[in-house]
Amino acid sequence: MTGEERRSEILQAIQEADVPISGTALAKRFHVSRQVVVQDIALLRAANYDIFSTTKGYLIHMPVSVTRVVEVCHADEEIEDELNTIVDLGGKVIDVFIRHEVYGSLRAPIGVSSRRNVQEFVSGISGGKSSPLKNLTSGKHWHTIEADSRETLDMIEEELRKKKYLIEESSR
C-alpha cells in the first residue's frame, strides 16, 4: 500500500467513525508506526481536511450542508436583488447554468455567499466584463444553492417565489 492509498484509507476511517480513532489503532490497522500516522494526519491537514486531535484520538469536522437547484427568471436589473435574497437568508450560490437548445447545458461557478461577493459579481457584469449567461435563454436559468439545512433552502425558495423570480414546476 502506498502512502497516498494509506492516507486515503485513514481519511475514510476517520470520516466513517462515530467516535475518535486513536493513532495507535490506526497504526495497527495499517501496519505502520504511530509516527507515520501522525505524519499522514499532518499531510491530510495540509490538504485542507479539518482533522483534529482529542485525548481519545482523531476526529474530522464534516460541515453539514444541503443543496438544491432552483429555476429562476428575472431581468438584468434584478440580479443583485436575487443574489442578495439568497445570501441574506443564509444561502450560498454555487453556480448558474442554462439549458440552451443548440449549445446544451452551460454552467459557470459563482461561489457567492455574502453581499460583498454579490457586489463584486454584479460589478463584473455591469462593468462590461461579461454578460449574464441567462441572456442566452431569455432570462431563464438555474442556480445550485447550498445552505445549512432544508429549512433554510425552503425559506430561500419561498422568498424567491414571493419576488416572482422562482419558476414553479407547474409553469414549465
Q: What is the DSSP letter of 77?
A: G
Dihedral, CA of residue 135, residue 141, residue 160 and residue 132, to nearest 10: -30
Q: How many degrees, rounded to 5, is the angle at CA 16 between CA 15 and CA 18?
A: 100
Could you tell me which of 125, 119, 63, 66 has the C-alpha nearest to residue 91? 66
Binding site: what residues are annotated?
74, 82, 141, 143
Return the ∠ at Cα 113 (arms to 112 and 117), rounded to 5°: 55
Instruction: Report CA-CA distances (Å) from 99 to 11, 106, 119.
Output: 37, 6, 26
Residues in binding site for Ni(2+):
74, 82, 141, 143
Distance CA 128, CA 75 (A): 17
